[in-house]
Amino acid sequence: MIGVLITLLSATTFGINHAMIRRGVISGTATQAVVISMPLGLAFFAVVALLMGQLGVVAQFSPFALCMLAAAGIVHFVFGRYCAYRAIAAMGVNLATPATQWSMLVSLVLAMSFLNEKLDAVKLAGIGLIVLGPALLAARHSRRRAVLAASATFKPRLVEGYTFAFLACLGWGSSPVLVRAGLQGPGQALAGGVVSYAAATLVIALLMLVPGPRRDLASMTVRNLRWFSGTSILTAVSQMLLYLAMAIAPVIVVQPLLRFQTLASTIAGWYLNRQHESFDRSVLWAIGVSMIGAVLLALDRQMLMSAFDLPDWLAPLLAWRWPG
């Protein structure tokens, strides 16, 4: 239960953060957002870990755990975050959200393959709804283009946006399995975050040796620096909560519940970015369908049977598991 509550709090802060990122990348760039977020995130995790007496735990990690946590930081904080921010910059949070829900499928496949977690009928239904979300957007593609074309302030770049959204799925979908493999309990969560952020910060430092990213960072305005600094701290809080959740709860539970960030980002986006997002009915339907699928992925057979008083004849169907 504690893991569920921590995950929901993490999802809420992640959702608000996505709306803030959208505001920042209207005039800034994904590179600027990622570069600013790394050292601030590392400093935040290190200070909190020090205050909580977990910083010394870093030295206790096995070489395998260090490799897993470092890899998680690179694929999530550098690759996944950059791709997600590019997708948000190209087409907004609301259009990117149904596509990035596919990261849950990546996490599920990897968790089944390497962590011996199981797939059942309820989770299979959830997968179907998550897949259906982007499909609804594709089916309404022509109508959506007409609606968006009428907007003078928001003209999404759909090809670029969907390309980077699906690339983000690979990074965000694989990193939870790496974190889960590297952590052995909640007492290691903050230290694990320090390792992940340190690895990601090192990669960003090396990328700053390249002239292109360095020029991009130098062109950042003071206004964007404020937005990106605020989102960096909020992201670090979200990640700290997420690492705590993944240290005590299965990936198959944490990742679906994390999809509630879509609700938080949609609400926050309405207040922060109403002129820079699509709130077309088809978009909201796609977000809702994907969220329902994510919720189903978080439920088990016993929970579903008792919560909805389902007939007994459904029990054998819901009891199906794969691998058996």
**CB hemisphere CA count around 21 (13 angstroms):** 36
pLDDT at residue 216, rounded to an integer: 92
Is pLDDT above 60 for 140?
no
What phi and psi values does residue 119 have, to the nearest 5 degrees? -105, 135
Most confident of 70-79, 111-120, 251-260: 70-79
Which value, in Å, is the radius of gyration of the alpha carbons in the chain?
20
Is pLDDT above 80 for 166?
yes
Report the predicted TM-score, pTM, of the whole model to 2 decimal places: 0.74
Over residues 122-147, the mean pLDDT reads 62
Exposed e or buried b per residue across 165-183, where buried means at least 16 C-beta atoms within 10 angstroms of its C-beta: bbbbbbbbbbbbbbbbbbb
**What confidence category does residue 283 fall into, taking pLDDT thresholds of 50, 70 and 90?**
low
Q: Please provide the average confidence, as pLDDT, over all residues in the chain.
A: 81
pLDDT tens per residue, range 71-116? 999 999 999 999 999 998 888 877 787 777 778 778 777 877 776 7
pLDDT at residue 7, rounded to an integer: 84
pLDDT at residue 133, rounded to an integer: 67
**What confidence category does residue 248 fall into, taking pLDDT thresholds of 50, 70 and 90?**
confident
Q: Are residues 233 and 37 in contact, defined by beta-carbon separation less than 8 angstroms?
A: no
pLDDT tens per residue, range 185-220? 777 888 999 999 999 999 999 999 999 999 999 999
Most confident of 128-137, 175-184, 255-264: 175-184
Q: Of all residues in the chain, what percent carry a pLDDT higher than 70?
A: 78
Exposed e or buried b per residue across 140-164, where buried means at least 16 C-beta atoms within 10 angstroms of its C-beta: beeebeebbeeeeebebebeebbbb
Cα(96)–Cα(294) distance, rounded to whole angstroms? 16
What are the C-alpha distances in Å from 127 to residues 153, 314, 316? Answer: 34, 19, 20
**What confidence category does residue 316 fall into, taking pLDDT thresholds of 50, 70 and 90?**
confident
pLDDT at residue 131, rounded to an integer: 67
